[in-house]
């Protein structure tokens, strides 16, 4: 996988346009020869857990050919997009999981790839299944799993879940366990599921099911989706947005942004011409 990659707070960020990201992800739906592809959404919370902006307890999700999962790190959050633009002198769009999921499911439906969901509650899944049947009638949804926190904390239980997912023949697994648990789960158990693409997409299952309403487009476009979500779930998200968020934002502004490899020599015009690929 070759993309234009920068590092923010020492966390990788892959700069891509929407169509390039969809083509790359969909090309891996049934690619059994490659390592599983994990897709992470990079926002301030991600930098807290996987960069040097937070407490340092997170495990960096970096590319290493010996690692069990290959990671694609996409921009999710206005501060990340702004930092990428400052670094490359070019505009890079937000590719949040909640925006990508419908196009990805549409691609899966057209290609015949099977899809499963891990995370959320059983009643959420009961709402999700009929909505997906209407929204994506050709989608092959083969299973939904709603493990309890105690199961997710138990290695044997996670291995059983991964085995069940593998038995269903899931090609694309949408993992909605929240950061950093979903990324850690993918890193440790993703290869055991047999899935070729694993999407660490947080609250996507709640949005798709209709349990939680997404912010209007104009709110998201102005960088205030966090405030919308905080208003809907203040008790759960107050610490993330009001306590850690400002600290992470200051760390991001103070961090030295780097562009590894030949990408550092690319001009803004070259970046626009080449898109995501170098």
- Taking only the tens place, the pLDDT of each residue in 221-235 is 555 565 545 555 666
Residues 141, 168 contacting (CB under 8 angstroms): no
Residue 250 has pLDDT above 90, yes or no: no
Please give the structure tokens belonging to residue 147.
Answer: 């493990």
Write the CA distances from 27 to 138, 151, 229, 267, integer angstroms.
Answer: 18, 32, 32, 28
Residue 59 has pLDDT above 70, yes or no: no
Mean pLDDT on 163-173 = 98
Please give the structure tokens belonging to residue 43.
Answer: 């926002």
- Can you give the pLDDT at residue 131? 96
Q: DSSP string spanning the chain?
A: ---EEEEETTEEEEE--HHHHHHHHHTTTT-TTSPPEEEEEESHHHHHHHSSSS-S-SPP----TTSSSEEEEEE-SHHHHHHHHHHHTS------HHHHHHHHHHHHHHHT-EEEEESS-HHHHHHHHHHHHHH-TT-EEEEEE---HHHHT-HHHHHHHHHHHHHHT-SEEEE-S-TTHHHHHHHHHHHHHT-SEEEE-TTHHHHHHTSSPPPPHHHHHTT-HHHHHHHHSHHHHHIIIIIIHHHHHHHHHHS--B--GGGGG--HHHHHHHTT--
- Can you give the pLDDT at residue 56? 46
Residues 234, 62 contacting (CB under 8 angstroms): no
Residues 146, 172 contacting (CB under 8 angstroms): no
Would you place residue 21 in the very low, low, confident or very high pLDDT band (cuts 50, 70, 90)? very high
- Can you give the pLDDT at residue 270? 35
Least confident stretch, 110-119, 131-140, 260-269: 260-269
Question: Comparing 34 with 211, which gets the higher pLDDT?
Answer: 34
Question: Comparing 231 with 190, which gets the higher pLDDT?
Answer: 190
- Can you give the pLDDT at residue 89? 87
Instruction: Convert the pLDDT of each residue in 89-133 to its tens digit.
Output: 898 998 999 899 999 999 999 999 999 999 999 999 999 999 999
Mean pLDDT on 200-212 = 88
Question: Comparing 46 with 173, which gets the higher pLDDT?
Answer: 173
Q: Which domain range does residue 48 map to? A: 4-274
Residue 267 has pLDDT above 80, yes or no: no
Least confident stretch, 20-34, 222-236, 258-272: 258-272
Question: Comparing 202 with 270, which gets the higher pLDDT?
Answer: 202
pTM for this one? 0.81
- Contacts of residue 42, defined as CB under 8 A and 6 or more positions apart, other chains included, come to 8, 11, 13, 73, 74, 75, 76, 77, 80
Residues 115, 105 contacting (CB under 8 angstroms): yes
The top-scoring range by mean pLDDT among 4-8, 31-35, 146-150 is 146-150
Residue 263 has pLDDT above 90, yes or no: no
Tally of structural domains, the chain: 1
Residue 269 has pLDDT above 80, yes or no: no
- Can you give the pLDDT at residue 87? 84
Question: Comparing 262 with 168, which gets the higher pLDDT?
Answer: 168
Mean pLDDT on 33-42 = 94
Residue 145 has pLDDT above 50, yes or no: yes
Would you place residue 219 in the very low, low, confident or very high pLDDT band (cuts 50, 70, 90)? very low
Mean pLDDT on 239-252 = 59
């Amino acid at each position: 996988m070759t993309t234009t990659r920068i590092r923010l707070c020492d966390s990788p960020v892959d700069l891509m346009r929407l169509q390039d990201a969809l083509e790359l992800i969909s090309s891996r739906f049934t690619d059994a020869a490659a390592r599983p592809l994990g897709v992470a959404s990079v926002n301030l919370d991600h930098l807290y857990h996987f960069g040097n902006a937070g407490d340092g307890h997170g495990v960096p999700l970096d590319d290493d050919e010996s690692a069990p999962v290959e990671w694609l790190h996409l921009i999710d959050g206005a501060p990340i997009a702004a930092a990428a633009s400052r670094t490359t002198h070019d505009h890079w769009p937000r590719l949040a999981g909640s925006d990508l999921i419908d196009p990805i499911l549409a691609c899966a439906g057209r290609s015949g790839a099977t899809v499963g969901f891990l995370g959320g509650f059983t009643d959420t899944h009961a709402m999700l299944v009929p909505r997906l049947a209407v929204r994506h009638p050709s989608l092959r949804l083969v299973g939904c799993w709603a493990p309890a926190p105690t199961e997710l904390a138990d290695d044997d239980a996670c291995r059983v879940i991964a085995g069940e997912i593998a038995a269903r023949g899931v090609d694309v697994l949408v993992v909605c366990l929240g950061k950093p648990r979903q990324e850690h789960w993918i890193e440790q158990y993703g290869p055991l599921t047999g899935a070729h693409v694993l999407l660490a997409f947080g609250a996507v299952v709640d949005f798709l099911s209709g349990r939680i309403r997404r912010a209007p487009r104009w709110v998201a476009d102005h960088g205030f989706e966090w405030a919308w979500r905080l208003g809907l779930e203040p008790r759960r998200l107050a610490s993330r947005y009001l306590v850690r968020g400002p600290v992470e934002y200051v760390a991001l502004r103070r961090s030295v942004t780097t562009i590894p490899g030949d990408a550092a020599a690319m001009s803004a015009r070259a970046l626009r011409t080449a898109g995501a690929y170098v």
